[in-house]
């Protein structure tokens, strides 16, 4: 038996019922409700009348017995008196001649007994009658299933996320696989074909088990009751709803066959992951219609209706498989299948044809494009969206941000970070909106407006270059006073005469303030607008040092405009949208010709940006062999730190700070933000290879075809073979020697025990250098990569790139220690 109300999917308040043939006819529903009310009222009145007569007879018998007992007691205590006078005979006999009602009035206890019996019965009758006359029409409930399904693909076509509600096709008797019907009946309502809508035996059994278990362990609802609840009632757990549910179940059983009820239930039930109905669930999880389900697949679907969100195989494949085993055993107990068939089904592998739930970090990007999908597609139908997201770069971005925050965040009082990666054309390749989407869905890359500090100087210098100044133009670094404003340099020094290239590289504030006065603040604002910054900017002298507030995406686009030469560079997250029709709903066209930045000022600006990384405040962003330009930014009191950098093909913006706007511990843009950029760019070129397969966290496999990383060449090395003992997930004991896995910080506890179980009776081959540290392989796979991919350990900061990538994938997919 199922619990009283299966778990329901989250609903979208803005959803609406689709018009069409499936829309209930109000007049027909009203006629059905009227017939149901009349039939049920007649049966209910007969039951109430019979119950009233029975209660009246019981009350009369009880009253008679009570009167008899009281009279006997009175006779025992009544004193003996002489015969009354003749004239008093009538008066003395008057009490004996009073009727039964008179005696009851003189005995309040008898009235109380009668009232205690009849009043609750009357109240119950009125309550049932009210529930009956207010019954909703059959099928009159509007199921709020949220937006239609959206499947999101990465830029290379890999599906990585789904949102909305999958509805599939309505089942017919010919589409319903026997195994699915048998599985649902076995696990949900074994007496479905023998009861008349309400299973009194099941209710009694559930009540007993709940009483013995000390809580709600089992529900007594039949499939018929669940069907009317899904299609005609709300999901409130109240006595009123249960009474109306029972009445409607009786009505449904009198008007529909058992197979029709079962089909209706399977079409209405929620199976998790946005799938409403068995056909939608079959297509969502297994990529096939319901009629093609195998026995183990049908058992898995039948097991989901009790707790679909918790057991959805895209979220909890292990739990779904365990529940499917319970369903198979229930089918054996109901003789739907044999034990041999159940055992064979357990051995069959169930392969999902859809991706797991979206990696949490990608949800910031998905939230951002959700509004664009609706606006561009112009329809509510099921859609497939080809996005611009590069999954390899996304995983890399999440990993480098998390690693830096884990290492220095607490020490430097840094709580949050955001990152945006744009292609030269403006495509959003990666987006990190915060440290943890599950903790906070606020997208700090798009929604947060913070002071950019010296990052804003790009706009000041570009304006100056467009007005005829050059990187060789010399200005004095000296104390400056503009009205009441006296800008100072961060280091408190004044360098005298400096060329603008050097002033920009060293982020000298006094020179930027003089430039702002020379070119005019309105001209700087005009340049900002030309490069796509839409945030409100104050017309004050301090604007040149970033006193306005902007978003990270805005600033990254502005720097991308300089790289590409387009003014402005339009960022986008969607390449195409497809629906059911062959014709795409939307395809991004080549951008219309826009204004181009003047070539000479743009080249001057690119040269100045490169100087920042070569010899200025952004030296931490340097990557050997890469041409890199960029700019640091630090707002007042160290509340925000920024770095926006670029290669010939990418623009990367990084912000760090705190949500409550509290100061960090003297954190400059040239430190952690520039370091995050460095870590990302250092490995991004390898990740950009199209079609590169990703390793599987579920199977703990390294990426197929990846070249094995050889251990560093050492003067002395040794090869050890054998079955190891596990000290921790980064340390083995092999043939009496301790071997530390290169690039791995080991974990103890249950993770170490899991590794020990995995390695039991399996030989590893370790190439050990400097006496203790090395790389080990098992059946040809690198053991350190397997451990990190499964989330069994952390990578060291200087770990080889393949191991860092394995850790980043585990972080993104929340496996192992990252799922805590």
CATH number at residue 797: 2.40.50.90
pLDDT score of 719 = 82
Q: What is the pLDDT of residue 165?
A: 77
Q: Which residue has the tokens 């209930």?
A: 24
**So what's the pLDDT on residue 700?**
37
Q: How far apart are CA 480 and CA 486, in angstroms?
A: 6
The band of 32, judged by pLDDT with boundaries at 50, 70 and 90, is: low
* Residue 10 pLDDT grade (very low, low, confident, very high; cuts 50, 70, 90): very low
Whether residue 772 contacts residue 730, with contact meaning beta carbons closer than 8 Å, is answered with no
The verdict on residue 276 lying in a domain is yes
If asked whether residues 531 and 589 sit together in one domain, one would say yes
Would you say 787 and 745 are in contact if contact means Cβ atoms under 8 Å apart?
no
Cβ neighbours for 510, distance < 8 A, ≥ 6 positions apart: 477, 478, 479, 480, 487, 488, 489, 494
Task: Decide: 456 and 521 in contact? Cβ < 8 Å.
Answer: no
**pLDDT at position 284 over 80:** yes
Same-domain check for residues 188 and 102: no
What pLDDT score does 705 carry? 39
Residue 215 and residue 265 share a domain: yes
Top pLDDT among 272 and 22 is at 272
Give the residue with greater pLDDT, 479 vs 773. 479
**C-alpha gyration radius of the chain:** 38
Q: Residue 147 has what pLDDT?
A: 55
The pLDDT tens digits for 223-282 are 887 887 887 665 566 665 566 677 777 778 878 888 888 888 898 888 988 888 898 889
Q: What is the pLDDT of residues 724-753, one digit of tens each?
A: 889 999 999 888 888 899 889 989 888 888
- Give 24's pLDDT tier (boundaries 50, 70, 90): very low
* Range of weakest confidence among 425-429, 626-630, 713-717, 799-803: 713-717
CA 603/CA 97 separation, integer angstroms: 123
Query: Does the pLDDT value for residue 72 go beyond 90?
Result: no
708 pLDDT exceeds 50? no
Does residue 378 lie in a domain region?
A: no
Q: How confident is the model at residue 88 (pLDDT cuts 50, 70, 90)?
A: very low
Structure tokens at 156: 């290379």
Looking at the chain, the whole-number percentage of residues with pLDDT higher than 90 is 41
Neighbours of 157 (CB within 10 A): 8
Q: What is the pLDDT of residues 611-650, one digit of tens each?
A: 999 999 999 999 988 899 999 999 999 999 999 999 999 9
Do residues 501 and 571 share a domain?
yes
* Length of the chain (residues): 820
Q: Are residues 729 and 681 in the same domain?
A: no
Whether residues 111 and 187 fall in one domain:
no
Lowest mean pLDDT among 341-355, 546-560, 689-703, 722-736: 689-703
Q: Read off the CATH number of the domain in which 244 is found.
A: 1.10.3810.10
Query: Any idea what the CATH number is for the domain that residue 647 is in?
Result: 3.40.710.10
Q: Which of 305, 332, 347 is the last residue of a domain?
A: 347
Q: Are residues 414 and 308 in the same domain?
A: no
Composition of the chain by helix, strand, coil, percent to 5: 45, 15, 40
Whether 18 is in a domain gets the answer: no
Of the candidates 773, 776, 802, 774, the one whose C-alpha atom is nearest the C-alpha of residue 789 is: 802
Do 337 and 445 sit in the same domain of this protein?
A: no
Compute the mean pLDDT over every residue in the chain, rounded to the nearest whole number.
80
Span 53-72, mean pLDDT?
Answer: 59
Does 347 or 165 have the greater pLDDT score? 347
Residues 568 and 431 in one domain: yes
At 63 the pLDDT is: 58
Determine, yes or no, domain membership for 21: no
> In the chain, pLDDT over 70 holds for what percent of residues?
73
Number of domains in the chain: 4
76 inside domain: yes
**Mean pLDDT throughout 398-424?**
94
Structural domain includes residue 380: no
Name the burial class of residue 159, with classes exposed (0-12), middle (13-18) and buried (19+) by CB atoms within 10 angstroms of its CB: middle
- pLDDT, residue 110, reads 59
Which ranges of 385-508 would DSSP assign to H, the alpha helix? 391-408, 457-466, 500-505
Question: Domain for residue 542, yes or no?
Answer: yes
Name every residue whose Cβ is closer than 8 Å to that of residue 381 and which is 6 or more positions away in sequence: 148, 579, 580
In a domain, 786, yes or no: yes
- Whole-model pTM above 0.75? no
The yes-or-no verdict on residue 119 having pLDDT over 70 is no
Task: Say whether pLDDT at 702 is over 50.
Answer: no
* One domain, residues 125 and 204: no
DSSP 795: E
- Do 325 and 420 belong to one domain? no
pLDDT of residue 137: 59
How many other C-beta atoms are found inside a 10 Å radius of the C-beta of residue 601? 20
Task: Write out the residue range of the structural domain in which residue 725 sits.
Answer: 717-819
Least confident range of 565-579, 590-604, 776-790: 590-604
How confident is the model over 76-89, as a mean pLDDT? 51
As a whole number of Å, the end-to-end CA separation of the chain is 33
Q: Are residues 110 and 178 in the same domain?
A: no
């Amino acid at each position: 038996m199922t619990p009283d109300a299966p778990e329901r999917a989250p609903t979208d308040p803005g959803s609406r019922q689709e018009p069409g043939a499936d829309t209930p006819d109000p007049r027909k529903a009203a006629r059905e409700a009227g017939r149901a009310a009349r039939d049920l009222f007649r049966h209910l009145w007969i039951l109430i009348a019979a119950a009233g007569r029975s209660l009246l007879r019981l009350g009369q018998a009880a009253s008679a017995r009570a009167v008899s007992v009281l009279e006997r007691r009175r006779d025992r205590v009544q004193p003996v008196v002489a015969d009354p006078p003749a004239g008093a005979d009538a008066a003395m006999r008057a009490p004996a001649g009073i009727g039964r009602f008179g005696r009851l009035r003189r005995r309040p206890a008898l009235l109380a007994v009668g009232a205690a019996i009849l009043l609750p019965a009357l109240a119950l009758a009125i309550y049932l009658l009210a529930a009956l006359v207010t019954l909703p029409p059959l099928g009159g409930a509007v199921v709020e299933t949220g937006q239609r399904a959206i499947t999101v693909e990465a830029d290379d076509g890999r599906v990585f996320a789904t949102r909305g509600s999958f509805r599939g096709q309505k089942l017919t008797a010919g589409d319903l696989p026997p195994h699915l019907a048998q599985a649902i009946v076995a696990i949900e309502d074994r007496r479905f074909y023998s009861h008349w809508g309400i299973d009194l035996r099941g209710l009694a059994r559930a009540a007993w088990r709940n009483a013995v278990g000390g809580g709600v362990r089992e529900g007594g609802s039949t499939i018929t009751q669940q069907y009317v609840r899904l299609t005609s009632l709300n999901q409130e757990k109240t006595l009123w709803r249960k009474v109306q549910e029972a009445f409607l179940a009786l009505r449904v059983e009198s008007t529909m066959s058992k197979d029709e009820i079962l089909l209706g239930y399977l079409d209405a039930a929620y199976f998790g992951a946005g799938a409403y109905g068995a056909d939608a669930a079959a297509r969502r999880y297994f990529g096939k219609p319901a009629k093609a389900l195998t026995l183990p697949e049908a058992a898995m679907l039948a097991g989901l209706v009790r707790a679909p969100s918790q057991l959805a195989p895209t979220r909890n494949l292990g739990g779904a498989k365990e529940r499917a085993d319970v369903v198979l055993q229930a089918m054996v107990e109901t003789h739907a299948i044999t034990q041999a068939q159940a055992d064979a089904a357990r051995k069959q592998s169930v392969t999902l044809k859809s991706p797991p739930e979206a990696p949490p970090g990608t949800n910031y990007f998905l939230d951002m494009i959700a509004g664009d999908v609706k606006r561009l597609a112009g329809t509510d139908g099921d859609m497939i969206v080809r996005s611009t997201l590069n999954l390899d770069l996304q995983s890399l971005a999440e990993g480098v941000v998390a690693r830096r925050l884990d290492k220095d965040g607490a020490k430097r009082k840094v709580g949050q970070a955001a990152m945006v990666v744009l292609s030269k054309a403006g495509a959003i390749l990666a987006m990190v909106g915060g440290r943890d989407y599950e903790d906070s869905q606020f997208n700090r890359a798009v929604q947060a407006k913070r002071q950019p500090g010296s990052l804003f100087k790009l706009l000041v210098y570009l304006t100056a270059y467009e007005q005829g100044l050059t990187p060789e133009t010399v200005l004095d670094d000296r104390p400056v006073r503009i009205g009441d404003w006296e800008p100072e340099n961060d280091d408190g020094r004044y360098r005298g005469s400096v060329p603008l290239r050097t002033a920009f590289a060293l982020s000298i504030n006094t020179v930027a303030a003089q430039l702002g006065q020379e070119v005019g603040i309105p001209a700087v604002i005009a340049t900002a607008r030309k490069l796509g910054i839409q945030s409100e900017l104050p017309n004050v002298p301090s604007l040149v040092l970033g006193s306005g507030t902007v978003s990270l995406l805005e600033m990254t686009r502005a720097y991308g405009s300089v790289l590409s030469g387009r003014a402005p560079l339009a960022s986008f997250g969607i390449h195409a949208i497809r629906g059911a029709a062959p014709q795409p709903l939307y395809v991004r066209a080549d951008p219309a010709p826009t204004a181009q930045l003047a070539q000479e000022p743009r080249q001057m600006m690119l040269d100045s940006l490169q100087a920042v990384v070569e010899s200025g405040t952004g030296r931490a962003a340097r990557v050997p062999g890469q041409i890199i330009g960029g700019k640091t930014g630090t707002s007042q009191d160290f509340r925000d730190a920024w770095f926006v950098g670029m290669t010939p093909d990418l623009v990367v913006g990084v912000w760090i700070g705190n949500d409550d706007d509290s100061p960090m511990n003297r954190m400059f843009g040239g430190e952690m933000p520039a370091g995050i950029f460095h870590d990302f760019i250092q490995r991004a070129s390898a990740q950009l290879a199209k079609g590169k397969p990703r390793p599987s966290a579920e199977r703990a496999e390294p990426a197929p075809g990846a070249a094995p990383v050889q251990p560093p060449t050492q003067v002395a090395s040794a090869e050890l073979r054998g079955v190891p003992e596990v000290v921790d997930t980064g340390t083995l004991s092999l043939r009496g020697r301790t071997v530390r896995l290169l690039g791995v910080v080991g974990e103890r506890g249950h993770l170490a025990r899991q590794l020990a179980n995995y390695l039991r009776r399996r030989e590893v081959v370790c190439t050990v250098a400097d006496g203790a540290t090395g790389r080990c392989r098992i059946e040809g796979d690198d053991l350190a990569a397997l451990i990190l991919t499964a989330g069994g350990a952390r990578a060291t900061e200087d770990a080889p790139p393949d191991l860092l990538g394995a850790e980043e994938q585990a972080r993104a997919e929340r496996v192992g220690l990252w799922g805590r």
